């Protein structure tokens, strides 16, 4: 490293950074000119990201006075980034929040209520939205976002495995089960040992502990919190029975392999699993698997009542948005909502009832099947500390499914931990229940 | 080091086996990138049954949604700038501490090295706020400049400088060379190996840095390569084919750069006046 | 004295650019972070940050998850660091004996994994370790072996260590190799003339002369070990059953998922103290020789 090299490098570094520094200090947005720039941030990576990007491009083309810049990253880091950017006053104008995250951000005064925007004549036809979906973002006295879709859990089943196992209807078509008996029957017929002595085909697999077991518990009539969220009641006999059923699937009926975490989904793609409960968002992934003959159906009722885990994406507005930006942002929100059939193509269920009655939606077979469950979908509990709840819940389920603790033991531990968190939050002046904002 | 062993001893056979084990997964990435997604999932067989350029085509041909060349360019620019910055400021500072008797170095040195113990995530939020105040967010400055304050390079070069025999410097001093002259004409040439090593480490480390660029950059077209590539994954699954193809494109330049640098290291060691 | 003062100024002039950047981007944020540990600042509530003195620390000591995370981290360091250093040193010594022409190939081969970014390494090793459909178990299946790589809490940490060895041994190896190559062969020739065996000259010449670099590599490896995050995040996400949730992962979740910035800062303090403690011990041990 001789001297001339080093000083030349130093010079280069300065020479290159100076122009960048000056341009960066000249303010935000590449558009310059008159356009209103809206930053739209979401967690849509993968194929649905590309679907949304195309919608954004269409909006920009149709609205020359607005430019929507889409910024996306994967969900895990998305929320961190959103939060950090809020600290710096750089929060985006429009962003997506999954329903379970809304209480968190609403409480932090990050999100703007939208009722004043929907009330006006040209607002959003809220009556057209599924009421249980819209009410899920109703906190305190206002709604905090516009749901653009629903992603319920549903059953994906491998038609070929069904046919080979003889689980068919009169016409020889694969027949998805609708109740516990049918489910166990199908699962045990499909499970079989391969040539190596190991089971190489399973009737069922747990892909996502949280959604799968949450659904089971709901179906068994379980509860999680007292209605005012003052206490966690996870250690409820119905929850225990539901979790026990899950444990039995693996260890007693032996129709599911020991839990592997979400990579178990690969097995379904490989054609080795008969049934799996996963969200509608997995559809795009499956459609790539050209050699897989699969279909969708509602989750069978394995307990006493029909219920299924679900989530939604909601378009939300930054808390302090106003004036021209507010108006432009609302226009964008309306656009996405009105065009949610395009969005549904990527593997979602639209929540505008009128759009579901169209022939175009009927052609989306899997989405249509999953949509049948809308009347009885349930969201995660409305907690600001939802992530800690998910950690405790996931841990309890995992321990039980791996048979390292009985269902009641693991649920009891989770319940007391969560109650301790509720206590902690209450002492810190953050009451957990419905928050007045 | 002149006992050249022409024949390959047992030791080298072991080295070779080990090297194969180390490279194999990397080659696997490369080979698998040529399979279509549906085949990747089945994981049977190493070689593709159906060789396809589809993954690469989808990544390279889709400038609007996947500006991979931009990402690549950003990474190259950032990492190069960071390397240059770190090597220059660290070598100066390390020399000051190791040989120039910096006043206060007894407590300053442990303090600086001690900050290596602080995990980067802890500094994330405060650095974000500082960068915001400076107006550097969403610009390459946010990625490049903070890296110059890292103690790693300083520590490494300090240790190396300490290991250089003092007689060469003392001789130059007796000859009437200024401190700066000694640094430039004696110490730096002797330190080609560690300096080059530091440059490589810094380049690779910054190339793979994920959290910083993720948080400090907002616009997709300013992303660096790892952050951009992460867009193909969701928390639930990965688009294997695309991710692997992107990985190949991501890794290839670094590997090439390393191979090129390697030759420089060897040359400079050979030219060094260390064997006296 | 004039000379000393001038020398002092000169030294600071040399060090100025670095010290400036260091102060702005390391010390200032650090102070901010440390002070935050004495506050309660939860983004979940509309309440502003509140000074609570040692309350966060009290909570940490009573927090079972904190201790679990600490244990997981220590387990990782104890497994990973010695293995990495020994392997890196052996490889460096081995590479040093190989003729120059071939050396470049080996050096590249062993360093190659290090240049792969973590998101890709994560996918790769998750595939390797999948118990049902992964590559390792698929190769072991004909022998009737099925290892629960990342599904059994007893296996998960060793599996992460194995992956870490592959991913990170290249760095220390390259540094040690550079250090070895800076040792003049005259020393070895003299020792050989005196009849010293390979092992003897290794112990009395190589190791002592390599000491600064070795200290550097060891200290950084320990520090890095305590800060392990990327592999955990990508491969096990802290599971199974939180057995691999290391301290940095726990801090990260506390800050960015639970938004409890004050508590996270206090935990960082504690991590910092733990690392500091081990580093001081290390420095002492190195000096005693």
Pairing of the two strands A273-279 and A151-158 = antiparallel
**Region class of C285: left (phi > 0), else alpha (psi between -120 and 50), else beta:** alpha
Of A64-73, C234-243, C277-286, highest mean pLDDT:
A64-73
> How many angstroms separate the CA of residue B257 from the nearest CA in chain C?
11
Of the candidates C243, C279, C283, C272, the residue with the CA atom closest to the CA atom of residue C34: C272
C-alpha A277/C-alpha A275 separation (Å) is 7
Sign, CA torsion A402/A408/A409/A412: positive
Give C249→chain A minimum CA distance, Å: 13
8 A C-beta contact, residue C146 and residue A198: yes
Task: Tell me if A10 and B84 make a contact (CB, 8 A cut-off).
Answer: yes
pTM above 0.90, yes or no: no
Say if the Cβ atoms of B100 and C10 lie within 8 Å: yes
Banded pLDDT at C160 (limits 50, 70, 90) = very high
Give the pair of three-digit tokens for residue A84: 């950090």
Task: Please give the DSSP secondary-structure letter assigned to residue B65.
Answer: T
- Give the nearest partner residue to A289 out of B38, B128, B135, using CB atoms: B38
Q: Is the dihedral of CA A45, A50, A55, A61 positive or negative?
A: positive
User: What is the rounded distance in angstroms from the CA atom of residue A348 to the CA atom of residue A281?
Assistant: 6
Give me the residues paired with residue A308 across strands. Answer: A377
Quick check: C263 and C62 in contact, CB under 8 A?
no
Instruction: Decide: residue C87, CB within 10 A, 0-12 exposed, 13-18 middle, 19+ buried.
Output: middle
What is the DSSP secondary-structure string of A161-190?
Answer: HHHHHT-B-TTS-B----BHHHHHHHHHHH
Chain C residue nearest residue B121, CA to CA: C252
Any chain B CB within 8 A of the CB of C3?
A: no
Query: Quick one: A303 exposed, middle or buried, by C-beta within 10 A (0-12, 13-18, 19+)?
Result: buried
Query: What is the per-residue pLDDT for B67?
Result: 83
How far is B196 from B268, CA to CA, in rounded Å?
Answer: 9
Can you tell me the distance from the alpha carbon of B222 to that of B236, in angstroms, rounded to the nearest whole number?
A: 25
Helix (H, G, I), strand (E, B) or coil at B1: coil
- Helix and strand numbers, DSSP H then E, in chain C: 15, 2
- Which residues of C are less than 8 Å from A404 in CB distance? 241
CA distance A103 to chain C (A): 9
Q: A16 to chain B: which residues are within 8 Å by CB?
A: 77, 81
**Residue B136 pLDDT exceeds 80:** yes
- Pick from B41, B128, B235: which is nearest to A270 by CB? B41
- Closest chain C residue by Cα to residue B145: C21
Residue (of C169, C258, B36) closest to A107 by Cα position: C258
Mean pLDDT in order along chain A per 10 residues (437 residues)? 40 40 38 77 82 92 92 79 79 92 84 87 83 88 91 93 90 90 93 76 88 94 88 92 94 85 75 90 83 92 93 92 90 92 87 90 90 91 86 92 92 94 82 54
Closest by CA to B119, choosing from B78, B153, B150, B155, is B150
Among chain A residues, the shortest Cα distance to C140 is held by A196
Which of A19-28, A78-87, B53-62, C268-277 has the lowest average pLDDT? A19-28
> Could you say which DSSP state residue B101 is in?
-
At A69 the three-state DSSP class reads: strand
If you count residue pairs, one on A and one on B, with CB atoms under 8 Å apart, how many are there?
Answer: 128
Rounded-to-10 torsion of CA B210, B215, B220, B222: -80
Cα-Cα end-to-end distance for chain A: 62
SS3 A337: helix
Task: Report DSSP letters for A5-42, one per residue.
Answer: HHHHHHHHHHHHHHHHHHHHTT-S-S--TTPEEEEEEE
Q: How far apart are CA C256 and CA A196, in angstroms?
A: 46
Nearest CA in chain C to A267: C133
Instruction: Using CB atoms, list chains with 3+ pairs below 8 Å to chain A.
Output: B, C
The count of other CB atoms within 10 Å of the CB of residue A60 is: 17
Which of C263, C257, C247, C226 lies closest to C60 in space, CA to CA?
C263
ipTM of the complex: 0.81
Burial label for A214, CB within 10 Å (0-12, 13-18, 19+), is buried
State whether the Cα torsion A321-A327-A332-A335 is positive or negative. positive
Tokens of C88: 């890196």
Kindly report the nearest CA distance between residue A270 and chain B, in angstroms: 5
For residue C275, the chain B residues in CB contact (below 8 A) are: 117
User: DSSP letter at A294?
Assistant: E
Residues C18, B154: C-beta atoms closer than 8 Å: yes
Q: Where are the beta strands (DSSP E) in A36-191?
A: 36-42, 66-72, 94-98, 138-139, 142-143, 146-147, 151-158
Asked whether residue B244 carries a pLDDT value surpassing 60, the answer given is yes
pLDDT of residue C133: 67
C105 pLDDT higher than 60: yes
Q: Are B192 and B268 in contact (CB under 8 A)?
A: yes
Tell me how far apart the alpha carbons of residues C99 and B8 are, in angstroms, rounded to a whole number: 10
Cα distances from B214 to residues B210, B245, C252, in angstroms, run 6, 21, 15
The alpha-carbon gap from C113 to the nearest alpha carbon of chain B, in Å, equals 7
Angle C154-C160-C163 (CA atoms, 0-180°, nearest 5)?
140
Cβ of C45 under 8 Å from any chain A Cβ?
yes
Give the closest of B37, B137, B230 to A90, CB-based: B137
CB-based contact A433:A228 (threshold 8 Å): yes
Specify the pLDDT at position B266.
47
Facing residue for B233 by CB, picked from A21, A50, A74: A74
C241/A267 CB distance under 8 A: no
Question: Which residues on B lie below 8 Å from C114 (Cβ)?
Answer: 204
Joined tokens for residue A75: 């969900």
The answer to whether residues C122 and C114 touch, using CB atoms and an 8 Å cutoff, is no
| C-alpha separations of C198 from B148, C74, C93, C203 in Å | 41, 35, 11, 9
Q: Do C30 and B230 touch (CB under 8 A)?
A: no
Neighbours of B102 (CB within 10 A): 22
Report the distance separating Cα B247 and Cα C117, nearest Å. 8
Residue B142: what pLDDT? 94
Residue C192, pLDDT score: 78
Closest CA relative to residue B163, chosen from C210, C203, C190 = C210
Contact assignment for A69 to B137 by CB distance below 8 Å = no
Q: Which residues on chain A are in Cβ contact (under 8 Å) with C151?
A: 258-261, 402
Decide if A45 and B231 are in contact by the 8 Å CB cutoff.
yes
Query: Is 70 exceeded by the pLDDT of residue B98?
Result: yes
Helix (H) or strand (E) holding C136, with range, is helix C135-140
**With 50 as the cut, is the pLDDT of residue B273 above it?**
no
- The pLDDT value recorded for residue C157 is 93
CA distances from B206 to A9, A90, A188, B209, B259 (A): 18, 25, 52, 5, 18
By CB neighbour count within 10 A (0-12 exposed, 13-18 middle, 19+ buried), where does A221 fall?
A: middle
The CA R_g of chain C, rounded to the nearest whole Å, is 23
pLDDT, tens digit (0-9, with 9 covering 90-100), for B138-161? 899 999 999 999 898 998 889 888
Cα-Cα-Cα-Cα torsion A181, A184, A185, A188, nearest 10 degrees, comes to -170
Q: Contact A270/B237, CB-based, under 8 Å?
A: no
B81 confidence band (pLDDT: 50, 70, 90): very high
pLDDT for A277 equals: 93
B250–C117 C-beta distance less than 8 A: yes
Q: How many CB atoms lie within 10 A of CB B258?
A: 21
3-state helix, strand, coil in chain C (%, to 5): 80, 0, 20
Q: How far is CA A227 from CA A210, A340, A431, B255, in A?
A: 21, 33, 14, 58
Bridge partners (DSSP) listed for residue A350: none
**Contact between chains at B41 and A81 (C-beta distance less than 8 A):** no
* Cα B48 from Cα B34, distance rounded (Å): 7
Q: Phi first, then psi: what are they for A357, rounded to 5°?
A: -90, 5
**pLDDT, tens digit, for every residue of B256-272?**
777 777 665 545 444 43
Which tokens go with A294? 């699969």
Query: B196 or A58, which is more confident?
Result: A58
Hey, which residues 163-202 in chain C have their CB within 8 Å of chain A? Answer: none
Contact call for B132 and A89, based on CB within 8 A: yes
Q: CA-CA distance, C67 to C263, in Å (whole number)?
A: 15
pLDDT of residue A43: 87
Q: Return the ∠ at Cα C88 (arms to C84 and C94), rounded to 5°.
A: 150
Whether B247 contacts B229, CB under 8 Å: yes
C271 in reach of chain B (CB within 8 A):
yes
What pLDDT sits at residue A32?
Answer: 47
Neighbours of C107 (CB within 10 A): 24
Which residues on chain A are in Cβ contact (under 8 Å) with B272? none
Q: For chain A, what percentages of helix, strand and coil (3-state, to nearest 5) are there?
A: 50, 15, 35
Asked if residues A402 and C240 have their Cβ atoms less than 8 Å apart, the reply is: yes
How many beta-carbon contacts under 8 Å exist across A and C? Answer: 78
Q: Using the 8-state DSSP alphabet, how is residue A405 labeled?
A: S
């Amino acid at each position: 490293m001789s001297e001339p090299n080093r000083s030349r490098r130093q010079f280069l570094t300065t020479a290159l950074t100076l122009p960048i520094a000056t341009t960066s200090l000249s303010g935000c947005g590449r558009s310059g000119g008159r356009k209103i720039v809206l930053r739209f941030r979401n967690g849509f990576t993968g194929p649905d990201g590309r679907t949304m990007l195309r919608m954004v491009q269409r909006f920009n083309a149709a609205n020359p006075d607005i430019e929507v810049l889409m910024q996306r990253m994967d969900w895990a880091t998305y929320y961190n980034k959103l939060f950090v950017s809020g600290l710096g006053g750089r929060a985006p104008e429009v962003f997506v929040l999954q329903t379970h995250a809304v209480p968190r951000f609403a409480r932090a005064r990050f999100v703007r209520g939208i009722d004043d925007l929907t009330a006006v004549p040209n607002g959003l036809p809220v009556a057209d939205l599924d009421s249980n979906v819209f009410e899920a973002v109703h906190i305190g006295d206002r709604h905090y976002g516009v749901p653009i879709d629903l992603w319920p859990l549903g059953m994906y089943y491998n038609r070929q495995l069904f046919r080979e196992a003889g689980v068919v209807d009169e016409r020889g078509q694969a027949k998805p089960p609708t109740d516990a008996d049918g489910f166990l029957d199908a699962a045990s017929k499909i499970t079989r040992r391969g040539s190596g002595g190991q089971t190489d085909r399973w009737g069922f697999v747990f892909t996502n502990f949280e959604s799968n077991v949450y659904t089971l518990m709901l179906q068994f009539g379980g509860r999680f919190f007292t209605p005012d969220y003052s206490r966690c009641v996870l250690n409820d006999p119905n929850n225990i029975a539901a979790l026990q059923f899950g444990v039995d699937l693996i260890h007693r009926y032996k129709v599911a392999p020991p839990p592997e975490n979400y990579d178990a989904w690969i097995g379904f793609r490989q054609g080795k699993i008969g049934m799996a409960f996963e969200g509608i968002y997995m559809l795009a992934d499956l459609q790539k698997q050209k050699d897989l003959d699969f279909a969708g159906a509602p989750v069978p009722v394995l307990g006493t009542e029909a219920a299924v885990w679900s989530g939604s994406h909601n378009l939300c507005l930054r808390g302090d948005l106003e004036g021209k930006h507010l108006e432009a942002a609302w226009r964008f929100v309306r656009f996405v909502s009105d065009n949610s059939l395009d969005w549904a193509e990527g593997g979602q269920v639209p929540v505008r009832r009128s759009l579901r009655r169209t022939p175009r939606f009927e052609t989306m077979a899997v989405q249509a099947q999953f949509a049948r469950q809308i009347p009885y979908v349930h969201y995660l509990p409305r907690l600001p500390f939802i992530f800690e709840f998910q950690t405790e819940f996931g841990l309890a389920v995992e321990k039980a499914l791996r048979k390292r603790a009985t269902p009641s033991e693991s649920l009891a531990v989770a319940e007391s931990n969560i109650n301790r968190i509720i206590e902690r939050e209450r002492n810190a002046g953050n009451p957990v229940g419905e928050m007045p904002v | 080091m002149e006992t050249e062993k022409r024949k390959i001893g047992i030791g080298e056979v072991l080295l070779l086996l080990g090297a194969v084990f180390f490279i194999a997964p990397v080659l696997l990435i490369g080979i698998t990138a040529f399979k279509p997604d549906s085949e990747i999932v089945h994981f049977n067989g190493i070689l593709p049954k159906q060789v396809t350029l589809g993954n690469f085509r989808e990544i390279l041909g889709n400038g609007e949604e996947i500006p991979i060349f931009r990402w690549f360019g950003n990474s190259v620019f950032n990492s190069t700038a960071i390397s240059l910055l770190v090597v220059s400021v660290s070598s100066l500072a390390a020399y000051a501490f190791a040989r120039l008797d910096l006043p206060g170095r007894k407590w300053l040195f442990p303090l600086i090295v001690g900050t290596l113990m602080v995990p980067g995530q802890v500094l994330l939020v405060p650095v974000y706020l500082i960068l915001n105040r400076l107006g550097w967010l969403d610009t390459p400055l946010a990625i490049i400049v903070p890296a110059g304050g890292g103690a790693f390079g300083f520590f490494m070069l300090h240790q190396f400088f300490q290991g250089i025999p003092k007689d060469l410097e003392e001789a130059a001093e007796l000859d009437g060379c200024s401190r700066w002259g000694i640094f430039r004409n004696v110490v730096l040439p002797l330190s080609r190996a560690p300096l080059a090593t530091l440059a490589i480490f810094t380049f690779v480390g910054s190339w793979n840095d994920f959290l910083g660029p993720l948080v400090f950059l907002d616009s997709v077209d300013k992303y660096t390569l790892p952050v951009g590539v992460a867009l193909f994954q969701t928390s639930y699954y990965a688009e294997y084919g695309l991710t692997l193809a992107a990985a190949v494109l991501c890794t290839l330049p670094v590997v090439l750069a390393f191979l090129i640098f390697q030759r420089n290291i060897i040359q400079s060691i050979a030219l060094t006046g260390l064997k006296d | 004295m004039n000379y000393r003062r001038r020398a002092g100024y000169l030294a600071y002039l040399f060090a100025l650019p670095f010290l400036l950047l260091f102060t702005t981007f390391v010390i200032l944020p650090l102070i901010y972070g440390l002070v935050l540990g004495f506050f309660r600042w939860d983004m979940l509530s509309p309440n502003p940050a509140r000074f609570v003195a040692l309350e966060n620390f009290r909570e940490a000591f009573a927090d079972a998850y904190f201790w679990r995370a600490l244990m997981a981290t220590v387990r990782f360091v104890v497994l990973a660091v010695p293995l990495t250093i020994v392997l890196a040193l052996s490889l460096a010594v081995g590479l040093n004996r190989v003729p120059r022409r071939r050396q470049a190939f080996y050096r590249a081969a062993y360093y190659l994994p290090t240049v792969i970014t973590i998101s890709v390494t994560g996918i790769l090793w998750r595939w390797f370790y999948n118990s049902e459909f992964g590559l390792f178990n698929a190769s072991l299946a004909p022998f009737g072996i099925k290892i629960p790589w990342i599904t059994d809490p007893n296996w998960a940490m060793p599996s992460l260590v194995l992956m870490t060895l592959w991913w990170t041994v290249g760095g220390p190896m390259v540094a040690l190799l550079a250090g070895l190559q800076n040792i003049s062969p005259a020393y070895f020739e003299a020792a050989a003339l005196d009849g010293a065996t390979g092992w003897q000259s290794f112990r009395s010449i190589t190791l002592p002369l390599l000491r600064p670099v070795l200290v550097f590599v060891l200290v950084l490896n320990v520090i890095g070990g305590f800060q392990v995050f990327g592999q955990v995040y990508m491969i096990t996400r802290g599971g199974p059953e939180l057995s691999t949730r290391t301290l940095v992962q726990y801090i990260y979740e506390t800050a960015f998922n639970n938004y409890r910035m004050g508590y996270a800062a206090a935990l960082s303090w504690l991590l910092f103290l733990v690392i500091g403690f081990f580093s001081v011990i290390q420095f002492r041990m190195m000096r005693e020789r």
